[in-house]
Amino acid sequence: MIKRLMTALAVVGVALAGLASAAKAEFPEKDITFLIPFSPGGGMDSQSRAIAQVLSKYLPNNVNVIPKNVPGAGGKKGYGELARSAPDGYTICVINYPGAALPALLGEEASYDINTLTWLGRMSAEEYLMAASPKSEIKSLDDLKKASKPVKITSTGPGSTAHVGASMAMSVIGFKGEFLTGYKGSADYILGIVRGDGDIAVAPVQTFQKFVESGDVTPIMSFEKKSSFDGVPTAAEAGYAELDGMGVERYIAGPPGMPDEIRKALSDAIQKAIADPETQEWAKQTNRPFLGLDADESDQAVKKSLAVMVKFKDALK
């Protein structure tokens, strides 16, 4: 009797284990949606699509990763859709950081909580550069500090990552600035200083690169660890350690509460996709380097950064 019971239990146990492992091994069984909370065209969209294309190679069962643009409300629409999706690994999203963290930092209501998202990895980190208009009197960091009247800074608006960078720079360096906002994108507000609407602007080094090369803007200070431009100091060299390494990062995240195995599977696939020679070649050609972190590293990086940014909450308002 007992022997029969034991056999039955064993059979059931094996069956269950079989089912469980089968379920696990079956992820992913259908196509994965990769949300892009911005309009098509532009650096973030292109980078996300480049990764999505390669990601399929490194996921089992040959599933496709389908990019889906969900523009609106400065990214909040897409992030909201992510937060509402099931954490089954079939919906992931590119996160523009620290932009996505702003609503929480500024105490605004949002349809997602940046603190609970499941971080799957980081794609890129582009550090900022501060550059001046050729028509402005400001030609160097010293000029900036000595400026008698408020300096005009162009940006898209208070919700953007570059605007955050500029605000913090203003607060740390201690110069008086006035924001000239409302531009449609980074290309537009850079054109704004080329044209002379404003005095300075803050944007990722990569976005500024071509304009520096053609002489249309004058670089003043770099937020990079190591300055890409001769004669231009980094924030750390100039004595502003808090601004060191500031920039915009692009992470990939999933909805809150994703099971560990799925999280790990996606994280591994993303890292492999980044390391893929095709991706690396693309990154080199377009000057958009990938600086990958895996899921755990990303998680730590974000939490650390959030802790720092909370201290600057008032400067951001």
Partner 1 sequence: MVEYFSEAIALLFTLKGIWFLVLGTGIGLVFGAIPGLGGTTAIALIIPFTYGMSAEQAVILVGGIMGSVAFGGSISAILLNTPGIAPNAATCFDGFPLAQQGKAGMAIGAAATSSSLGGLIGVFILIAVIPIAKQIVLLFGPPEFFALAVMGIGAIALSTGGKFLRGLIAGGVGMTLAFIGYDAVNGGVRFTGGVEYLWDGISLVPALTGLFAVAEMIKLSIEGGTVARVTGDVKITRVSDGVWATFKNFPVVLRGSAIGAFIGAIPGVGGTVASFLSYASVVQTAKDPESYGKGNIRGVIAPESANNAKDGGALIPTLAFGIPGSAEMAIFLGVLILHGLQPGPLMLIENSSVIFSLILALAVACVLASLVGLATARWLSLITLVDVHIVAPAVVSVALVGVYALHSSWEDVVLALVFGWLGYLMIRYDYPRITLVIAMVLGELAERSFHQSIIMGDGDWRIFFSRNISLFLLVITVLILIAPAVRLLIGQWRAQGETSS
Residues in contact with partner 1 by the rule CB under 8 A: 39-43, 45-46, 49-50, 53, 67-74, 76-77, 80, 111, 149, 152, 156-158, 178-184, 187-188, 191-192, 194-198, 209-211, 213-214, 216, 281-282, 285-288
Task: Please name which of 99, 109, 148, 98 lies closest in space to residue 301, comparing C-alpha atoms.
Answer: 98
Are the CB atoms for 269 and 59 separated by under 8 Å?
A: yes
Q: How far is the CB of 289 from partner 1 (least distance, A)?
A: 13
Shortest gap between Cβ of 44 and partner 1 (angstroms)? 10
Minimum distance, C-beta of residue 42 to partner 1, in the bound complex (Å) = 6
C-alpha torsion 36→250→215→155, nearest 10: 70
Nearer to partner 1, 22 or 285 (CB): 285
Pairing relationship of beta strands 118-132 and 32-36 according to DSSP bridges: unpaired
Q: Which is nearer to partner 1, 197 or 244 (CB)?
A: 197
Give me the least distance between CB of 156 and partner 1, in Å please.
6
Nearer to partner 1, 178 or 261 (CB): 178
Smallest distance, Å, CB 176 to partner 1?
Answer: 13
DSSP code of residue 293: B
Cβ pair 227, 234 in contact under 8 A: yes
* Shorter beta-carbon distance to partner 1: residue 61 or 286: 286
- Residue 245 φ then ψ, to 5°: 80, 5
Cα gap 82→74, rounded to integer Å = 14
Nearer to partner 1, 39 or 61 (CB): 39
**CA 193/CA 201 separation, integer angstroms:** 7
